[in-house]
Structure 1
């Protein structure tokens, strides 16, 4: 490493969630007494996701402690996440300059990087690169490998991690948080339910429907600590914030998707809320209790429980969620759940008649949509007739179901028919929607689940049909009949459950 000792700086880009004993030895040999190590901490604006389970300020604390213990002269620079770009190295260098005033160049800096794709970007700029773990044989475990040991409950991570990381993780109880996030059954690498969702359309939909949702539940809200789980971009809480009767309440939003959580935080920073006690948390509700026992007066969930059913272990996950809500609710408190609902007689065989003249009718459905850009998927599915769209649905839907052509109609169960009909117009997020099941639970199933846990259902609880959807989305292009050919009314599509925890529990 002779030439590196003449370098003024060592640029060390990475996520740096875990610092290792190997890194301490390597950097101590690499950096001379006059060398400054520049720790460019990437994804500094991300936390609580699988790829970035540790927040930046904890990473920075560990680096500073690491530097003090090893005697390295260090500077720590946060680098916010960017869209994938071949100019990542240049972006990082500019971040360093803006943050520190230092100009790193090929004449004064060596780059320490063990990720080949990133190292190649610096080499293209003319920098000398040392590959850290990649330069040693046998290759030592990399920081991410050590973190995965921790996540798996393997305590040998403590022997590989540097004492600075171990100390920060122990003092701030980060180990369990990392295990929860990394082993999360729902959240994707970047903290969402699906990597292909267009969250912009979700934000718009939440905003458009917020007033309707709030008006439907407002009379059942109990003042105190009010929690909206799956709060989206915070639109319902904005309306709750305007209620004079709730001015003394705490308003808490819980959201798993990073894109939506960031929007909530941005709104709060911009003064969208007048109540000073508005808080937002990024949590996955399937990872365990969200809030302490008996601490919440009102829990709101809108269009959430079908996602728990779909992305989790169906009934088992839904029951565990309902139990967690029960546990964090004060006696006399309420859980208000508004969501889609399966029809009664879910398994009843029916004939579904669908329009063919409202779009294209290809010879066969496509099986390659997952390989296409989202815009192409949207355009293709939107151009299909309702009947052809059903054929595409049967290919893409993640919940296999039995069906067969019956002349001009399709024979299938009532629940499967309604799952298609209530999803057929979601062309803008077609593939993500194919991973969700709307009609997995009928209202009777909900009643049995809730009362079995101990909830009491308010008389306002009910299943109902969205008549606007039936009139404008279903009736123009579809109809239902029994196997005898007799017309059937459109079944229920939604539920409102107002569940109270009894006072004597």
Structure 2
């Protein structure tokens, strides 16, 4: 006996010809209604969820027309992992549609065993879809990966409804860009170990300082903040009368921070009607058309592009992309950490051993611990022992020679450790980044190579608070001959202009 409803839970980024044939048989030519529970409906532009919900819904509705199936489409927002996921989904469907789905009137079509098991526990009959065939046909995600890899066979496997929507809304390019993106994580952030609450608070606390640093160099027009965090700097730009006719645009890759930007806008945090937020990864391709942006702002971003991309190659592509999008006479203002001058110079770094524990060896298992346990362990080490742990967790290996409490190494490597050693709350995230990959001379060469002119306001600086409170109390720095060395610069401020005649 055919059930009245077929519940079909899934992300449904892509629909297949097999699904059309299978659902047609399962519904006996349209006698049952397919209830599409579209999970992760609030996620888009991530590797796990590259297609926004409204495009998924459009493809399902088109699919229903072409197949003659009667469908009801329900968005299901992402929740924390729970054994009650099936119950939450069913309640969500009832609230959205008024339908009461139960084992007496519904069969669940699901090829994911763990999800199917949740519904089976509630008494529902299960149709295994692809998992019930031998050999099993390709599942939608497999077909999507074919698309991402450039395999034209996806066109033969995908249903024409998906092909139509993908082509009309240029989703083929979007999916390929997001899925193949070298930086964005599965859930849209740079790294799964990062505590974005901490970062959002830090962005808000430093926004006033950042705006004071850059505001006199900002050219009105289209102003974009790439890596805008939770939008705190754009909130300050929004208050500037001289920028009231400007477009204020925030670009953020991390889903958590992007959603906070959208929330702020919805809550009326901006008076300017022309405030926009985009969730994009700038390494995935051009974000804006050529010569369309008057001012680009980047704060604490370029070292992440260097670290999570291909270092010098990724940085050059990024700088070229910024130059290309900048209008003639426009400006790029960049503030970030910086490597010391003569970064490869060999130095001797002496570190305290009496300010924490000194275990007999380093730990190789921190990635398997909870963040709080990592922070507690690293925070309890002496500075010298923390250096040893740093060399294990740091992604960018370097040569050094240790003799007791003294290490001989390159100046940039010394500063990478000293400027990172106190970030214990995000230790596994911070040790994936290199602060000192470029020194000021490298920056000037790169910018002029691409075509920028460097404004005289550009300069390096040293964070004396960090030196006086975090570094100098636990470390001394000398040349290999024992001569004391002054602590080097830690930050760079760059004002780069595209010439008017380009």
TM-score tier, shorter chain, comes to over 0.9
Following the alignment from structure 1 to structure 2, what is the Cα–Cα distance between the partners of residues 213 and 473? Answer: 22
Residue equivalent to 1:126:
123
Following the alignment from structure 2 to structure 1, what is the Cα–Cα distance between the partners of residues 306 and 404? Answer: 34
CA positional deviation for 1:360: 1.3
CA positional deviation for 1:124: 1.3
Structural mapping, 1:28-427, within 5 Å: 28-32=24-28, 33-427=30-424
What is the aligned counterpart of 1:15 among 2, 11, 15?
11
Following the alignment from structure 1 to structure 2, what is the Cα–Cα distance between the partners of residues 239 and 86? Answer: 44
Deviation per residue, 1:340-371 (Å, 9 max, x gap): 00001111111111122221111111110001
CA positional deviation for 1:407: 3.7
Contact 2:261 2:277 in 1 (8 A): yes
Residue equivalent to 2:442:
445
Structural mapping, 1:458-473, within 5 Å: 458-473=455-470
Question: Runs of 5+ in structure 1 lacking a partner?
Answer: none
Following the alignment from structure 2 to structure 1, what is the Cα–Cα distance between the partners of residues 204 and 365? Answer: 33
Question: 3-state SS of the aligned residue for 2:359?
Answer: coil
Aligned residues between the structures: 501
CA positional deviation for 1:72: 0.8
Following the alignment from structure 1 to structure 2, what is the Cα–Cα distance between the partners of residues 243 and 360? Answer: 51
Question: 3-state SS of the aligned residue for 1:297?
Answer: strand
> Higher mean Cα deviation, 25-34 or 37-46?
25-34
Deviation per residue, 1:368-391 (Å, 9 max, x gap): 000101111011111111111111
CA positional deviation for 1:70: 0.9
Question: 3-state SS of the aligned residue for 1:377?
Answer: helix
Following the alignment from structure 1 to structure 2, what is the Cα–Cα distance between the partners of residues 170 and 369? Answer: 45
> Higher mean Cα deviation, 101-110 or 221-230?
101-110
Question: 3-state SS of the aligned residue for 1:308?
Answer: helix
Question: 3-state SS of the aligned residue for 1:210?
Answer: helix
Following the alignment from structure 2 to structure 1, what is the Cα–Cα distance between the partners of residues 33 and 49? Answer: 26
Deviation per residue, 1:67-100 (Å, 9 max, x gap): 1111111100000011111111111111111101
Deviation per residue, 1:138-187 (Å, 9 max, x gap): 21111011111111111121111111111111111110111101110110
CA positional deviation for 1:406: 2.5
Deviation above 3 Å: which 4+ runs of structure 1? none
CA positional deviation for 1:34: 3.2
CA positional deviation for 1:212: 0.7
Question: Runs of 5+ in structure 2 lacking a partner?
Answer: none
Following the alignment from structure 1 to structure 2, what is the Cα–Cα distance between the partners of residues 214 and 357? Answer: 40
Following the alignment from structure 1 to structure 2, what is the Cα–Cα distance between the partners of residues 276 and 476? Answer: 50
Question: 3-state SS of the aligned residue for 1:497?
Answer: strand
Q: Aligned-residue CA RMSD in angstroms? A: 0.8
Following the alignment from structure 1 to structure 2, what is the Cα–Cα distance between the partners of residues 359 and 445? Answer: 37
Following the alignment from structure 1 to structure 2, what is the Cα–Cα distance between the partners of residues 363 and 204? Answer: 37
